[in-house]
Structure formats: C-alpha cells, structure tokens
C-alpha cells in the first residue's frame, strides 16, 4: 500500500497547483498517484530479469475543509504536506502557518471533547477503565477540575475568534521587515 500524503494549506496558497504538478491529475479528482523516480530500478530489474517493473509511488490527497471537517479528512492520511504562499506578496507565511496550527488544535480539541462527553456518560456505570479514560482525556484538555471547565471553554472561544479573524479578507499584516501585507 502506498504512503498517503495530505496536502493542506489556506485557500489560494497553491495546494491545487502542487497537487496537479505532482499527480498530473485534475484538481477535481482530489486524489492522485505521484511516482517516485529511481534510476536504480531499471538496472535492478535487468539484473534479476524482472518481467514487470513497478516504481514506488505516493498517494497524494488534496485535503479539503476547515476545523473538524479538516481534521476528519486528515485522519485518513499518513503524512502532511503544508503549502504556504510565500511568493504572492499578499500573505505572511508565518501567520498562515499559525492559523493552520490553530485550526488543527481546535479540531483536535473538539474531537477530544466529544470523546470525553461520551466516556463520562458511560463511566457512570462504574467501569474503572472508562473512569481512567475520562481522567486522561480531562488531563489532555488541561482541565484540572470540573470547576475550571468554563475558564477552559473561554480560552477555546478566544482561539476560535483568532482563527476566524485570520481568515477574514483584507486584514492588514506586517512581516518581520515591517512591510504591510493584505491577508486574504
């Protein structure tokens, strides 16, 4: 089975262009194979007198979506290839990378919270394994005790607001050299 690589990036970053260049498939396909050239393969095939030569390939997925949908799609791939717009002059790649990281963190958090809700309800049966899992999930979420849950949720809402603000078209940004850029 081929290694599956998911291409992720903000809209307009060049994901689709890279996908088409690697796979020679139309962007509408969303999934394609990219051969891995190896000049040693033909020589090896001659030595062992192979009847068929099949080069290695990776499966490339143009991952769509944002938030939970993005995370759900990412769970299907083995590796991520992050594409950032560093050439148009309209984006700040470091800011785009931070936005992607925050989206992934929020999506992960949502996944863990949904699991915690299910496990907490099931743990009322008294099963020790479920209680331990609930405690571990709370620990992963950074919830020391249930009374701090509202503080945690307030912090999450603040992060979500930052992500949304980063997506808004026309937001002015400056790069490390003080040059202004439009974030879109």
pLDDT in tens, 57-106: 999 988 876 666 666 777 788 898 999 998 888 888 988 888 888 877 77
Residue 87 covered by a domain: no
16 and 97 co-located in one domain: no
Last residue of a domain, one of 19, 49, 82: 82
How many Cα neighbours within 13 Å face the side chain of 6? Answer: 16
73 and 112 co-located in one domain: no
Instruction: State both tokens at 12.
Output: 């307009």
Residue 14 covered by a domain: yes
Task: Tell me the three state secondary structure of residue 8.
Answer: strand
Residue 88 covered by a domain: no
Last residue of a domain, one of 82, 104, 130: 82
Range of the domain at 142: 93-183
Q: How far apart are CA 114 and CA 120, in angstroms?
A: 10
Residue 56 covered by a domain: yes
Length of the chain equals 184
Q: How far apart are CA 112 and CA 120, in angstroms?
A: 12
Overall pTM > 0.95? no
pLDDT in tens, 22-54: 999 988 888 999 988 888 988 999 999 999 988
| Bridge partner list, 4 | 59
């Amino acid at each position: 089975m081929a290694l599956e690589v998911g291409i992720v990036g903000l809209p307009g970053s060049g994901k689709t262009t890279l996908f088409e260049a690697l796979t020679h498939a139309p962007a509408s396909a969303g999934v394609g194979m990219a051969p891995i050239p190896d000049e040693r393969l033909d020589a090896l095939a001659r030595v062992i007198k192979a009847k068929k030569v099949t080069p290695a390939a990776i499966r490339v997925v143009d991952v769509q979506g944002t938030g939970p949908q993005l995370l759900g799609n990412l769970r299907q791939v083995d590796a991520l290839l992050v594409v950032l717009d560093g050439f148009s002059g309209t984006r700040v790649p470091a800011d785009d990378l931070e936005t992607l990281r925050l989206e992934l963190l929020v999506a992960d958090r949502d996944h863990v919270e949904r699991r915690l809700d299910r496990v907490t309800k099931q743990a009322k049966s008294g099963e020790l394994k479920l209680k331990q899992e609930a405690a571990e999930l709370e620990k992963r979420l950074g919830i020391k005790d249930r009374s701090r849950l509202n503080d945690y949720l307030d912090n999450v809402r603040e992060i979500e607001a930052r992500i949304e603000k980063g997506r808004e078209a026309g937001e002015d940004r400056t790069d490390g050299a003080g040059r202004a850029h439009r974030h879109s």
